[in-house]
Amino acid sequence: FLVRKVDRSVTGLIARQQCCGPLQLPVSNVAVVAQSHFGLTGAAIAIGEQPVKVLINPRAGARMALGEALTNIVWALISDLTHIKCSVNWMWAAKLPGGGAALYDAAVSLGELMTEIGIAADGGKDSLSMAAQVGDEIVKAPGQVVISAYSSMQDITKVVTPDIKRPGESKLMFIDIAPGKNRLGGSVLAQVLGQIGNESPDIESPILLVEAFKAIQKMIGEKLILAGHDRSDGGLITTLVEMALAGNCGIVIKLPEKMEVTGQLFSEELGLVLEYLPEREAA
């Protein structure tokens, strides 16, 4: 109710809110706000967070949070990748044994990845008293970093939403940003099975992430993409189902025969799915 039924157009400057498609499902990747009522300039904002992966590996969890933010904001045509700034919010029981070290590791790894990609954090907040004494027990919240990425846009109409637009005519393409990796640690599948996992997804190739980002941006500018969504919580199967539900249609999924199906469908490594028309493949 809170996601779907709130006032989604305060000020009249909301160019892309959370609901999209014929059924108005709240699956949008990115929020877009216009600068004025009379122009096309504005700003795109997207969020990334991966708390369960932080439980396994604070460094990898922080990097994946940034990866999620970038694979969300990529669906709005921004001025440039290097123009992205981030607000980083930390929630961590840093005063408990091991908490401060884990927070430090996560912060250092996040800073290193931002530097390599060419973006920066220019704000944020922290809450480091995330534990309470309850009787003889200490109850603490898991470490968490929430990244809000934002950038300017020259044209707020150039935004791609997840809902499939041309069922029966179009194809879906999966872009794997972690080729050959299908780690299931911290995934929804692991949680359903009562586990956390041992090995978290991670970003081994920032260059591949940057190149994928630039390629998607170019295709949006050339109007080659009908719909798009990121692979994140729930894995590739969730990405595909959300796109189909939002488009009020069905899909046919073809997987490589030699790939292990469980990992391919439920791994939450970074990836992108886009809808396109077959006749535009050459472009």
pLDDT, position 3: 59
Listed residue (218, 166, 177, 156) closest to 66, CA to CA: 177
The domain segmentation of the chain, as residue ranges, is 10-280
24/55 Cα distance (integer angstroms): 34
Q: Rounded distance, CA 154 to CA 212, Å?
A: 21
Q: Which long-range contacts (CB under 8 A, 24 or more apart) does 20-24 make?
A: 20/161, 20/162, 20/163, 20/246, 21/161, 21/162, 21/163, 21/246, 21/247, 21/248, 22/163, 22/247, 22/248, 23/245, 23/246, 23/248
Superfamily of domain 10-280 in CATH is PurM-like, N-terminal domain (3.30.1330.10)
Model pLDDT, residue 213: 98
| pLDDT score recorded for residue 6 | 67
Q: Considering the entire predicted model, what is its pTM?
A: 0.93
Task: Give residues with Cβ within 8 angstroms of 107, minimum separation 6.
Answer: 62, 90
pLDDT at 283 (0 to 100): 66
The per-residue pLDDT for 180 is 84
Measured between alpha carbons, how far is 20 from 228 in angstroms, rounded to an integer? 12
The strand order across the sheet containing 171-176 reads 171-176, 271-276, 227-231
Which residue numbers in the chain have pLDDT < 50?
1
> Token pair 């790939």 is at which residue?
259
